[in-house]
Amino acid sequence: MKAVIILIGLVSLFSGAAYAQTSAAIEKFARFPDGGDKLYEYVKKKMIYPADAKKDSISGVVYVEFIVDVDGTVLPETVKVIKGLSPSCDAEAVKIIKATPKWIPAATKSAATRQWISFPVSFVFE
């Protein structure tokens, strides 16, 4: 079977869970350069379906959260699984998020700011 990775959502934001360096509200949310389609392409291109997950027919969703910093980088120390699937699928999802290119950072009226992002990734067989 050919493994196919499907991105369930583009980017989901925690309602009210944005981390800002100031007390001002976020007006522009962090986003992947060139939009969600490019994020989907990036994840699909970089993801390697774990061999043990294929062998055991593991499929489902890994939910990852992380902070996009004021310069658009994903802070690697903040990337964590909030709902896992299997150790190998979880590790693969974290690896990909940590390696993403710079994002367009969130912003308030006055400046760029940090933002928490939650991101669901689905592992399925075709």
Residue with tokens 């964590």: 80
| DSSP-H helix ranges across the chain | 36-46, 51-55, 87-98
The confidence score (pLDDT) of residue 24 equals 62
Sign (positive/negative) of CA torsion 101, 104, 105, 110? positive
69 vs 76: CA distance, rounded Å: 10
Q: How confident is the model at residue 14 (pLDDT cuts 50, 70, 90)?
A: very low
Contact 115, 26 (CB under 8 A): yes
Contacts of 45 (CB under 8 A, 6+ apart): none
Whether the predicted pLDDT of 75 surpasses 50: yes
The confidence score (pLDDT) of residue 3 equals 45
Question: Over the stretch 34-59, which tens digit does the pLDDT of each residue have?
Answer: 988 898 889 889 999 999 999 999 99
Whether the predicted pLDDT of 125 surpasses 90: no
**Residue 38 belongs to domain with CATH number:** 3.30.2420.10
- In the structure encoding, which two tokens stand for residue 102, read together? 């710079």
Contact 96, 122 (CB under 8 A): no
Whether the predicted pLDDT of 10 surpasses 60: no
Residue 17: give the domain boundaries: 3-125
Domain count, the chain: 1
